Structure 1
Amino acid sequence: MKKLLLLVFFLACIVNVFAQTQKDTILNTFNKDYVLNIKKAQSAITIDGVIDEPDWMAAQKADDFHKVLPIDTGLAIQPSEVLMTYDDKAFYLAFTFYDTVQGKRIMESFRRDFVFGNNDNFLVFFDTFLDQTNGFTFGLSASGAKWDGVMHGGAGSNLNWDCKWESKVKHYENKWIGEMKIPFKSIRYPSGTKMWNANFSRLDLKTNEKSAWAPVPRQFPTSSLAYAGVLKFADPLPKSKIMFSLIPYLFGSFSNDYEAGTGNVWKKDFGFDAKVGLSTSMNLDLTYNPDFAQVEVDEQVTNIDRFELYFPEKRQFFLENSDLFADFGSKTATPFFSRRIGLDAPVLAGARLSGKIGNDWRIGFMNMTTQKTSNFLARNFTVASIQKKVFARSNVGVILVNKEYIDQPVDTSMFNRVVGVDYNLASANNIWSGKFYYHRSLQPDNPGDQYSQGALLSYSTKNIQAIIGQRSVGENFNAETGYITRTGYHHISPEITYLFVPNKQIVSHGLTLETNFYFDPDFNRIDQENAATYQFEFQDRSNIKIGYNSVFIKLQRDFDPTHISANYLPAGTEYNFGHAIVSYTSTRKTMFNWAAEAAKGTFYNGDIQYISGRFGYRYQPYINLSLNFNYTDINLPQPFEHAKLWLVGPKLDVTFTEKLYWSTFVQYNEQIDNMNINSRLQWRYQPVSDIYIVYTDNYIPGSWNSRNRALVLKITYWLN
């Protein structure tokens, strides 16, 4: 442990020395000439969707929005105007979106954190610390549905984060108007600041046009903080007060695991989450006895891969500043994956400290304890990270992950530790990005290659997108709290896309070539996949892709490609196979929309064909019907049986009002011989305070006997 602490200290010193050489660098947004001057309000602003207060009349307009999609040249067809003002407690936005083209405004539902591409909407992105990496996003759809989230990585948004704010949307024949009031205490920013970076975005599906106030190249999302404009406030913003919010909850449940023979089990309990703002930029999150029953169920997939499937984190406690913990390493070799905590045993309590120190430093610390169960001992999970901004938008970070068993004798097998350092590259104009990292697990009884190392460099312009990636994971690298698909390999993956942008009925088209090489520790080839894809994007934003994948695999372990057989292909055998693939995604502006993908070819020593897709229909903004499906036909030689696997997932989503939602998701999965029903009713009776009723049942297809079922009632209340 002493060596580990010395290593962390040494790396932090290196980062600090390197940072000192960059302290005089002037950091600014690419669109620094797009400036909106914001006056302080002299009277009250009423959030009613009517822009008639004197302060709105006196406010400077952000207008002349620029096209981003389908092309990024010229001004938007649909005129837009945005206004801002503020007082001592909140800041206010008002927007007017004019319609020069007749047609029905697209609004999917009233549900919070709507799907961006399925709604006419307004979004705003705030870079409050001017680091062009982290921030906050808010928005409204045409139905009045809210959007709020925390931003990370320069453009990404995590929408599972919620805060209290007010809004109102009103519709007129030739325009729609929205007003928003966001309390300063809901977000974080430096004390005494007079300047933020920000951008305003509009999506109008009638014209298939996405536009932004500060121009953004079409290859980047409008959320790219590198291309934000500048907000200048007339006076320093009010000093942030210490923020404290408490979210107690009560829950009761009934369950019966028929397969395990538990009988009826009744449970009632309580818990709480708390959020303490230690400063304007540092948060302490606490949780006791959390219950995550209301979290949306994962969407199942048919698994024909050799490695563990990835499902994203959806639990809110783990989300704010999640990049400080979860963005180390690569997608398939990360040292910390929060879903390792609390899904196999209940969480007893946890604490998380995260935020900024000054302008350039960020820190994260998380400690979680899970309860002892019949299958697992009590465990404690600790993650600590520190990140230093360097150059224009890049950063260097160090992470330590520790998992250990509680109240157990000291033994080398009773803990797992990983330490690592990452450098994340992001150029000022976002054209160059990349990552370089080195991680090491610390297991004294497991000597050998305990490392994970990788590099990625990406170049992105309107016509050319090129990526080169490299990754190596030692045979004995062990990150039990991470997501590591496999160990003992070297990987290299070049990819290049060239797009033609004629801006006609076909907006863009082009070819993508990609290769993935995998080698064993002695650099013998064990896997290779070559893919060639040609894509077309049309004016209505529908697209079609046609391609071919060829694969070589030398199995390192016995493997059943169907995942349902007692038979397997033996380790050491080699296979060459390939398949043609075509996919299509329809426009989202029609009430009925769909997407599908089909493939046919060889698979290991047999054949495969599959078709998957999604159908959707909306009765806006109240009802959304969707159907996800996959049919996979795998025909391998004897002794394997001919596998025909269906996965069907119909979903009904009803938003009665802006506060009352009901969704039911049914998933029939032949591969795991199960049908799951998850039905959830949510009533937001106060801002960010909810009552949930969740019913879950799992059945055995054929006999339709219940495997297990549960009914949960949960009540939360936000106090702040």
Structure 2
Amino acid sequence: MLRIPRLLCLSLLWAPFLYGQKKNEAWKLPISRAVSPIKIDGIIDEEAWKHAAVATDFRMVLPMDTSAAKLRTDVRMLYDQQRLYILVENYTQGSGPYMVESLRRDFAFLKNDNFIFFMDPFDDQTNGFSFGANAAGAQWDGLMYDGGKVDLSWDNKWVSAVKNYPDKWVFEAAIPFKSIRYKKGIMQWGINFSRNDLKTTEKSAWAPVPRQFPTASLAYTGTLQWDTIPPAAGPNISIIPYVLGGLAKNYDTKGNTTWRRDAGLDAKIGITSSLNLDLTVNPDFSQVDVDKQVTNLDRFELFFPEKRQFFLENGDQFSNFGYSTIRPFFSRRIGLGVPIQFGARLSGKLNRNWRLGLMNMQTAAKEEVGLPSQNYTVAALQRRVFSRSNVGFIFINKESLNYHPEDEAQKPLYSRYNRNMGLEYNLASSNNFWTGKAMLLKSYSPGREGSDYAHAANLQYTSKVWNVGWQHEYVGHNFNAEVGYVPRQGYIKIAPQITRLFFPVSGAVLSHGPQVTGTMFMDEHFNRTDNETMLNYGIVFRKRNTLNIWGSNTYIRLLQPFDPTNTGKDSLLVGSSHSWNTVGADYVSQPQQLFTYAFSARYGGYYAGGRRLMLNSELGYRFQPYVSIALSANYNHIALMQPWGNQSFWLVGPRLDVTMTNTLFFTGFMQYNQQQKNINLNTRLQWRYRPASDLFIVYTDNYLPEPMYIRNRALVLKLVYWFNI
């Protein structure tokens, strides 16, 4: 097992002490109890708002962070016994419509005039909640983690309204205390307000944030100062049942139409104001967005993100342990091809410094393929250290029930158990300039002992003009994470990178500069197997369009047989070496236009002396605010010797989003994947007839494109209702 380099160890230890004080302590917004009832309508006519303190004088973040914001934004906050209230006046300049993508919930930040605020109820600069809206009234809500990231898959009960005026648009919202988690007795919450205006291309924040960081960065929040201890949320129990009906037919097997009738239940129980118990019985995820397909020319398993609601709240404590390709826990492994029978998760804050996560899930057996019933247990504990850093522990256990492979003469298809245990240290300095992580994992599986460790560490420095980083990884050939995402074993990886930015004082270019990255893989005996070196030059324009031009050199020595087209043809030999050069460019248009587009291209060598051309485009047009049309197209042409020859793969995905109101949505998404020889159609109608309660109608089709032939289709109607007790 590799040891962390001495310099990296020292950096991880001393970096937290470089900056010990919260950056924006001078920014304070007093919040008091409302003196009159408040109606959420975007009209400022209540007596209570006249007595509320005002947060104003926002600072510009983009295009530059050296001046006051051009646009005025005024924010007021109040509370009563049950709810937290916010009122925002977003003043504008010039004529013309507001720029919004649609009324779709959890909109794309860069393509909308919007106001979003970030709350840190524990004032720990690490975890929190985000709420907001665009200028047409579409809501945004998400869970915050890692000090500045937002998971928009989280939805909860709250109400808001947006009203447009000639010189401003007003956002007003009420958030029940039951919808968020906070520690009783804390009278100072971290908070910041962010404004994005596409007509002026200005992004601003109340408490100033350096331009190299997102305005969601909790390292730069101001303070929400309560006049007394915030009200207790009270009994916080939510029951969320669903009923479902549907039909499906598989034309490939010439089966009959099957009818589906199902029901299930979720429950949320507030153990304390900051610790929550989630329960689920027979969960169904038929309404979840389909994955966006990719043309797979990689040697390793592809990653698709989790989208199921149950796994998302406080899920970062489980799913973000490790690195992007060394995840000991990946929730999509649970319920893969089999139904989940029931599950429970206890998660949240124990106090300002301790955070806990416990989860247990039970899946059914699948007798036709010999898959036993399986139980999954995950435990995570996190301790805050220094100003914003933390130390974490994780334990994962996958257990096959009533399964005895020792009784079988042949090698078992599934192991009796798989366990992983690990520690990690997450570094985040108080000003966010220094970030990093050091991690150690060990797996336990029958018959796989020795070289069953994984270790990785990185350290990154980010200033306005420099971004310098180092990362290394080690994964033993017997390391086994069956409930994780670790696509590669038996390697050592080293990956340094450095970026330098320049800022012209005038002209169309806001910033530009080179970036050099290197990635080297070796086997456990330090023999080189892969290497890629890339030089990129990036340009950011003042209108927010971007251009990147790059070139790379690649070397690969195959450790496993590999079909370079991933179509089931012949494979290249183990031990064969391949090297090539590639050039490419990426361009993203201005986000404030009704018609937006992005193009990328690459051309160069490929395996076995071949050549590869890749073209990719993303086109979008919006009929504000009701209709958004998008088209993604990817083309790969590979020229190889026989038996592969010339191969071309198209992947085309038109998408239609119709938002008739901010509670009635229709989405249609079609994907044509030439490599997989499949056409997939998915449509979904969603009616949010009351907060967090929905009616879904989902229709899916799969076709074989040549000749056009129906493979399977399904129609599902699902009703979800959220009861508060």
Q: Name the TM-score, length of structure 1 as normaliser.
A: 0.95
Q: Which residue of 1 aligns with 2:435?
A: 433
Secondary structure, aligned partner of 1:222: coil
Q: 2: distance between equivalents of 1:593 and 1:465?
A: 29
Map Cα deviations across residues 111-167 of structure 1 (whole Å, 9 max, x no partner): 111111111000000000011100000001101011111110001111111111111
Offset at residue 168 of structure 1 (A): 1.0
Q: 1: distance between equivalents of 2:644 and 2:64?
A: 51
* Contact kept? 1:665, 1:679, Cα under 8 Å: yes
Give 1:32-71 correspondences, 5 Å limit.
32-71=25-64
| RMSD (Å), alpha carbons | 1.5
Q: Which residue of 1 aligns with 2:722?
A: 718
Compared with structure 1, are the counterparts of its residues 26 and 565 closer, same or farther at alpha carbon in structure 2 (3 Å cutoff)? closer
- Aligned with 1:286 (options 279, 282, 301): 279
Secondary structure, aligned partner of 1:317: helix
Amino acid at match of 2:669: F
- Aligned with 1:468 (options 467, 470, 473): 470
- Aligned with 1:553 (options 552, 556, 562): 556
* Contact kept? 2:416, 2:446, Cα under 8 Å: no
Compared with structure 1, are the counterparts of its residues 503 and 351 closer, same or farther at alpha carbon in structure 2 (3 Å cutoff)? farther
* Contact kept? 1:201, 1:210, Cα under 8 Å: yes
* Contact kept? 1:47, 1:180, Cα under 8 Å: yes
- Aligned with 2:652 (options 648, 654, 662): 648
Secondary structure, aligned partner of 1:333: coil
Q: Which residue of 2 aligns with 1:589?
A: 592
Q: Which residue of 2 aligns with 1:658?
A: 662
Q: 2: distance between equivalents of 1:391 and 1:261?
A: 63
Q: Which residue of 1 aligns with 2:345?
A: 352
Secondary structure, aligned partner of 1:500: coil
Mean Cα displacement is larger for which, 73-82 or 48-57?
A: 48-57
Q: 2: distance between equivalents of 1:441 and 1:297?
A: 32
Mean Cα displacement is larger for which, 559-568 or 466-475?
A: 559-568
Q: 2: distance between equivalents of 1:27 and 1:251?
A: 53
Map Cα deviations across residues 512-532 of structure 1 (whole Å, 9 max, x no partner): 100000000100000000010
Mean Cα displacement is larger for which, 454-463 or 161-170?
A: 161-170
* Contact kept? 1:586, 1:595, Cα under 8 Å: yes
Amino acid at match of 1:473: V
Q: 1: distance between equivalents of 2:211 and 2:551?
A: 27
* Contact kept? 1:191, 1:240, Cα under 8 Å: no
Amino acid at match of 2:665: Y
* Contact kept? 1:64, 1:76, Cα under 8 Å: yes
Q: 2: distance between equivalents of 1:443 and 1:293?
A: 33
* Contact kept? 2:18, 2:429, Cα under 8 Å: no
Secondary structure, aligned partner of 2:644: coil
Give 1:165-184 correspondences, 5 Å limit.
165-184=158-177
Q: 1: distance between equivalents of 2:343 and 2:405?
A: 23
Q: 2: distance between equivalents of 1:92 and 1:264?
A: 51
* Contact kept? 2:494, 2:521, Cα under 8 Å: yes
- Aligned with 2:494 (options 492, 495, 499): 492
Secondary structure, aligned partner of 2:415: helix
In the alignment, structure 1 residue 368 sits paired with structure 2 residue 331: no
- Aligned with 1:297 (options 253, 270, 290): 290
Offset at residue 61 of structure 1 (A): 1.2
* Contact kept? 1:201, 1:212, Cα under 8 Å: yes
Q: Which residue of 1 aligns with 2:417?
A: 415
Map Cα deviations across residues 204-240 of structure 1 (whole Å, 9 max, x no partner): 0001110000000011000000000001011111122
Q: Which residue of 1 aligns with 2:83?
A: 90
Offset at residue 188 of structure 1 (A): 1.2
Offset at residue 547 of structure 1 (A): 0.5
Give 1:248-259 correspondences, 5 Å limit.
248-259=241-252
Map Cα deviations across residues 675-706 of structure 1 (whole Å, 9 max, x no partner): 00001111111111111111111100121111
Q: Which residue of 2 aligns with 1:673?
A: 677
In the alignment, structure 1 residue 690 sits paired with structure 2 residue 700: no
* Contact kept? 2:82, 2:233, Cα under 8 Å: no
Count of residue pairs the alignment pairs up: 698
Q: Which residue of 2 aligns with 1:448?
A: 450
Percent of matched pairs sharing the same residue: 48
Q: 2: distance between equivalents of 1:80 and 1:166?
A: 21
Mean Cα displacement is larger for which, 100-109 or 143-152?
A: 100-109
Mean Cα displacement is larger for which, 100-109 or 69-78?
A: 100-109
Amino acid at match of 1:685: Y
- Aligned with 2:601 (options 598, 603, 606): 598
Give 1:396-415 correspondences, 5 Å limit.
396-409=391-404, 413-415=415-417
Gaps of 5+ in 1: 1-18
Map Cα deviations across residues 321-375 of structure 1 (whole Å, 9 max, x no partner): 1111111111001100001011321111110110111211111111111111223
Q: Which residue of 1 aligns with 2:629?
A: 625
In the alignment, structure 1 residue 575 sits paired with structure 2 residue 575: no
* Contact kept? 2:396, 2:420, Cα under 8 Å: yes
Q: Which residue of 1 aligns with 2:529?
A: 526
Mean Cα displacement is larger for which, 178-187 or 482-491?
A: 178-187
* Contact kept? 1:123, 1:137, Cα under 8 Å: yes
* Contact kept? 2:372, 2:402, Cα under 8 Å: no
Amino acid at match of 2:558: L
Q: 2: distance between equivalents of 1:503 and 1:418?
A: 53
Q: Which residue of 1 aligns with 2:335?
A: 342
- Aligned with 1:196 (options 173, 181, 189): 189
Give 1:261-276 correspondences, 5 Å limit.
261-276=254-269
Q: Which residue of 1 aligns with 2:201?
A: 208
Compared with structure 1, are the counterparts of its residues 25 and 501 closer, same or farther at alpha carbon in structure 2 (3 Å cutoff)? closer
Secondary structure, aligned partner of 1:615: strand
Q: Which residue of 2 aligns with 1:15?
A: none
Mean Cα displacement is larger for which, 692-701 or 185-194?
A: 185-194
Map Cα deviations across residues 479-527 of structure 1 (whole Å, 9 max, x no partner): 0000001000000100011011225310000101000000001000000
* Contact kept? 1:101, 1:207, Cα under 8 Å: no
Offset at residue 246 of structure 1 (A): 0.6
- Aligned with 1:386 (options 381, 395, 407): 381
* Contact kept? 1:40, 1:233, Cα under 8 Å: no
Q: 2: distance between equivalents of 1:622 and 1:510?
A: 39
Q: 2: distance between equivalents of 1:565 and 1:346?
A: 30
Q: 2: distance between equivalents of 1:365 and 1:704?
A: 48
* Contact kept? 1:535, 1:546, Cα under 8 Å: yes
Mean Cα displacement is larger for which, 159-168 or 660-669?
A: 159-168
Q: 1: distance between equivalents of 2:336 and 2:397?
A: 18
In the alignment, structure 1 residue 108 sits paired with structure 2 residue 98: no
In the alignment, structure 1 residue 613 sits paired with structure 2 residue 622: no
Q: 2: distance between equivalents of 1:250 and 1:694?
A: 14
Q: Which residue of 1 aligns with 2:125?
A: 132
Q: 1: distance between equivalents of 2:505 and 2:635?
A: 36
* Contact kept? 1:29, 1:197, Cα under 8 Å: no
* Contact kept? 2:422, 2:440, Cα under 8 Å: yes
Secondary structure, aligned partner of 1:117: helix
Offset at residue 33 of structure 1 (A): 0.8
Secondary structure, aligned partner of 1:656: strand
Q: 2: distance between equivalents of 1:418 and 1:570?
A: 33
Q: 2: distance between equivalents of 1:511 and 1:273?
A: 50
Q: Which residue of 2 aligns with 1:501?
A: 503
* Contact kept? 1:71, 1:503, Cα under 8 Å: no
Q: Which residue of 2 aligns with 1:538?
A: 541
Secondary structure, aligned partner of 1:55: helix
